[in-house]
Amino acid sequence: KPSVFPLHSCCSEPTSVSLGCLVTGYFPEPVTVTWDTGSLNVSTLNFPTAKLSSGLLARTSQVTVSGTEEWARKSFTCSVGHAPSSTSQVNKTVQGCLLSNFTGPDVTLFHSACDPSGSHSIIQLYCLISGYTPGDLVVTWLKDKKPLFKTASSIAPPTQEGKLASTHSKINVTQEDWMSESIFTCQVTTHGFNYRAHAQKCTDDEPRGISTYLIPPSPLDLYVRTAPKLTCLVVDLESKEGVTVVWTRDSQKPVTSDPWKANKQLNATFSIVSTLPVDAKDWIDGETYRCTVIHPELPKPIVRSITKAPGKSRAWAGKRMAPEVYVFLPPEERGGQDKLTLTCLIQNFFPVDISVQWLRNGQIHNDQHSTTAPLKTNTSHPSFFIFSRLEITQADWALNTKFTCRVVHEALPGRRTLEETVFKSPGK
């Protein structure tokens, strides 16, 4: 069965643009590739079939649209058929010309309250679509990855705030469908990209008493140590016997996790920690990972999924913001006090993931420092700030020891690090 990927083009030529469809992972021949380009002047080029190392086949079809700038506002459909696998026709939409500085939408999916008594038969799903560059926008509702064509939905006219626009879409589903653990998806297509938000049943319906959390790799592990890991944390287990932790990923590629570890807590319960080494490129590119926890105390497995927070994709590139770093010197020495405090302010960064280290004369300094959780700034753009605090001795400061606040963040250039160093000036 073939997989089809649209190939976009940027606006580099004033009078023409080339688009493509990559068809891969099929066997045997033939596949058919057709283009719906309306009445525009086009030329089509089908490249020879290539054989992959797996033995499967791949080919690319290219269409060039020319003669008018009208293509810059159009979308084109690539239709692929593969009779030997009895695959129904696959249609992919390709934007004629991608804007170089567009902003993709924030897509958030809300649901109305659940009714445990079942007296209300309808659950309303509300998809908020905000902060995007105006243009053609299509909303598709999915249930377990299949379109809900037979269920009525609505989309509101967009409202514009400055250069960006917002809208919303609503759909009603039965409480029976909602409680069946189906996954509902609001898929937004604009400027040739898809953006999705998911919702699944009522949170109160999950097994109580045992909680599971997924923790992403820190920027420090991702960009400096280059050894990123995901962590699946299970807490409040009465027993560690019979625990099974299974990791999977959406691409179906194999995963190899580290053996899980159990720790007994002061309240006599157990916590389980399972870690999964991941490839940095896969994580940055947006791969989705799942941790499934199976235990005799659970009526059903707990499944948690995680993907990299927004900020990774082309559409979010314009919103990335590199942090500003400031280190404040300790106040004047006060008699009888042996400790001084250095404070590092890191502000105006996005996305939220960030790591902070302190160095003493260029070496990692792990003692007596603490860092706050990120807080949102009171600005129109999505940015955050944090403080990090380091305690040092009067004697160390008096020796002109150099202390450095090192910040790791994906929006920083080069090695993704930024350092600010302070020391006691001579004569003070």
pLDDT tens digits, one per residue of 71-100: 556 778 899 999 888 777 888 887 766 665
Lowest mean pLDDT among 173-182, 270-279, 348-357: 173-182
- Rounded to an integer, what distance in angstroms lies between the CA atom of residue 319 and that of residue 311? 7
Question: Of 33, 178, 165, which is closest to residue 92 (Cα–Cα)?
Answer: 33
State residue 364's pLDDT score.
Answer: 87
Instruction: Tell me phi and psi for residue 7, to 5 degrees.
Output: -115, 115
Q: Which residue has the higher pLDDT, 317 or 372?
A: 372
Residue 320: predicted pLDDT: 82
Tokens of 367: 């003692």
Mean pLDDT, range 353-380, rounded to an integer: 87
Average pLDDT for the chain: 84
User: Cβ distance 190 to 138 under 8 Å?
Assistant: yes
Higher pLDDT residue, 235 or 150? 235
pLDDT at 143 over 50: yes
Q: Phi-psi region for residue 226, left (φ > 0), alpha (ψ -120 to 50) or beta?
A: left
Residue-wise pLDDT for 293-321, tens only, equals 998 878 888 999 998 866 444 444 457 88
% pLDDT > 70, the chain: 88
Please count the CA atoms within 13 angstroms of the CA of 349 that sit on its side-chain side.
Answer: 26
Looking at residue 204, what is its pLDDT?
45
User: Mean of the pLDDT values across residues 402-410?
Assistant: 94
More confident residue, 13 or 382: 382
Confidence band for 15, pLDDT divided at 50, 70 and 90: low
CATH numbers and ranges of domains, the chain = 3-95 (2.60.40.10), 106-204 (2.60.40.10), 208-308 (2.60.40.10), 318-422 (2.60.40.10)
Mean pLDDT of 141-147: 91
134 in Cβ contact with 160 (< 8 Å): yes
CB count, 10 Å around CB of 43? 11
CA angle 369, 412, 220 (to 5 degrees): 45
Q: What is the pLDDT of residues 54-77, one digit of tens each?
A: 899 999 999 887 755 555 567 788
Label residue 18 by pLDDT band (50, 70, 90): confident
Question: Is the pLDDT score of 41 beyond 80?
Answer: no
219-244 pLDDT, tens per residue? Answer: 999 888 888 999 999 998 888 899 99
Q: Rounded to an integer, what is the distance from CA 117 to the centroid of its chain? A: 36
